[in-house]
Amino acid sequence: VQTQRAFNFNAGPSALPISVLEKAQAELIDFRGTGMSVMELSHRSSTYEEVHNQAINSLKLLLSIPDQYEVLFLQGGASLQFSMIPMNFLQQGKKAGYVMTGSWSEKALSEAKLFGDVFQAASTKEEGSYRSIPKVGDLKFNSDDAYLHLTSNNTIYGTQWTDFPDTGDVPLIADMSSDILSKPIDVNKFALIYAGAQKNLGPSGVTVVIIRKDLLEQANTNIPTMLKYSTHAKNNSLYNTPPTFGIYMLGEVLNWAREIGGLTAIAEQNETKAKLIYDAIDTSNGFYHGHAEPDSRSLMNLTFNLKSKELEKSFLELAKQEGFVGINGHRSIGGCRVSAYNAVPIDACKAFSEFMVEFQKKN
């Protein structure tokens, strides 16, 4: 039976590769001859441990993570990282800089305020509701700051960083929830990278943290055990029961990413996909207009509006009828948003760009 798959443009949780879902389905009841599902295995069993370590190693290989970094699998979503980062790394007498590029940066900043001194290293809010990414040279921070935090891809506004600042001795921390694994990155530039899994990595429930080991030694100590990065680093993310099924799925998504050619191949596909839709916007003579400035456009979340609210409404309604799922813009900014994460096939983006062209012809 041919399974009917939706054109899934959800912003997160989002599309997963069909081959991964099929493998999980085939292995669901009896995982590798254990007579149990992977989610029924003890997290202390050697069978589970293999799954766990394989996922860590696959991520290290795919992102070329150097040896001086730990890969952690945590819970609480990217949102808990907004608190754990300042709890662990915002020392008394120091300040932490936040680059403001959207709602998620705002949330990260407001959590950090609860723990210490923070400042805005830059913001693109005033110059037109987060349409752009600041120039790397325009960031303001000091060499003795606790850290500098940025959001590499702004899921709601549809903007994405292409080059990252060299921050010298100031640890650079990035929320990569919505573009991790979408292209090669130089992990060496960052002291800490974090991402909720539910876009490019797998199902929700796992948060990936890549942390430079020297940072662990500098962390504050007067915080709860579960909220210390060092607790999880010392225990290979097995201090308590990890989200085992989610980690298994993450490992399978990473295997898939390697099989299809790794991050260079994935980046090429993502560029092709995004171009299909940005071209439909750019050749529409203003019928569609993109929210992001062209040089800040995201390849993951493509945001745009139509000429009027009425047209937007009928566009969204018709798109839904045609089977395109998840293209309503976030409730905070409205309009339309196509999320073209790694597992969204080129054909889905082609079909949607054709739909855009057709809709314009008829209206």
Instruction: Write out the residues near ligand PLP by the rule CB under 6 A.
Output: 12, 77-79, 104, 151, 155, 175, 177-178, 196
Give helix then strand counts, H and E, for the chain. Answer: 10, 14
Contacts of 347 (CB under 8 A, 6+ apart): none
Q: How far is the CB of 200 from ligand PLP (least distance, A)?
A: 11
Active site residue 256: no
The torsion angles phi and psi of 313, rounded to 5 degrees, stand at -65, -45
Q: How far is the CB of 118 from ligand PLP (least distance, A)?
A: 17
Please count the CA atoms within 13 angstroms of the CA of 15 that sit on its side-chain side.
Answer: 24
Q: How far is the CB of 257 from ligand PLP (least distance, A)?
A: 19
Separation between Cα atoms, residue 333 and residue 336, nearest integer Å: 9
Indicate the residue among 209 and 306 with the shorter CB distance to ligand PLP: 209
Separation between Cα atoms, residue 71 and residue 316, nearest integer Å: 40
Indicate the residue among 178 and 296 with the shorter CB distance to ligand PLP: 178
Active site residue 144: no
Q: How far is the CB of 113 from ligand PLP (least distance, A)?
A: 17
Question: What 3-state DSSP class applies to 324?
Answer: strand
Q: How far is the CB of 259 from ligand PLP (least distance, A)?
A: 26
Q: Phi-psi bin for 117: left (phi > 0), alpha (psi -120 to 50), beta?
A: beta
- Per the annotation, does 241 bind a ligand? yes
Cα→Cα distances 270→346, 350, 355, Å: 8, 12, 19
Indicate the residue among 47 and 79 with the shorter CB distance to ligand PLP: 79
Question: What 3-state DSSP class applies to 226?
Answer: helix
Active site residue 175: yes
Q: Which of 341, 357, 338 is nearest to 284 (CA)?
A: 357
Angle at 45 between CA 43 and CA 46, to 5 degrees: 125
- Per the annotation, does 155 bind a ligand? yes
- Per the annotation, does 104 bind a ligand? yes
Catalytic residue chosen out of the listed positions 104, 179, 183, 228: 104
Indicate the residue among 62 and 176 with the shorter CB distance to ligand PLP: 176
Separation between Cα atoms, residue 290 and residue 276, nearest integer Å: 13
Q: Which of 291, 278, 284, 277 is nearest to 333 (CA)?
A: 291
Q: How far is the CB of 346 from ligand PLP (least distance, A)?
A: 23
Catalytic residue chosen out of the listed positions 60, 95, 183, 199: 199
Burial class (CB in 10 A: 0-12, 13-18, 19+), 75: middle
Indicate the residue among 336 and 356 with the shorter CB distance to ligand PLP: 336
Q: How far is the CB of 73 from ligand PLP (least distance, A)?
A: 13
Residue count (the chain)? 363
* Torsion sign over Cα 59, 61, 62, 64: positive
Contact 175, 150 (CB under 8 A): yes
Indicate the residue among 104 and 141 with the shorter CB distance to ligand PLP: 104
- Per the annotation, does 79 bind a ligand? yes
Indicate the residue among 157 and 359 with the shorter CB distance to ligand PLP: 157
Separation between Cα atoms, residue 16 and residue 281, nearest integer Å: 26
Catalytic residue chosen out of the listed positions 60, 95, 175, 273: 175
Name the binding residues.
44, 78-79, 104, 155, 175, 198, 240-241
Q: Which residues are known to be catalytic?
A: 104, 175, 199
Name the binding residues for pyridoxal 5'-phosphate.
78-79, 104, 155, 175, 198, 240-241
Name the binding residues for L-glutamate.
44
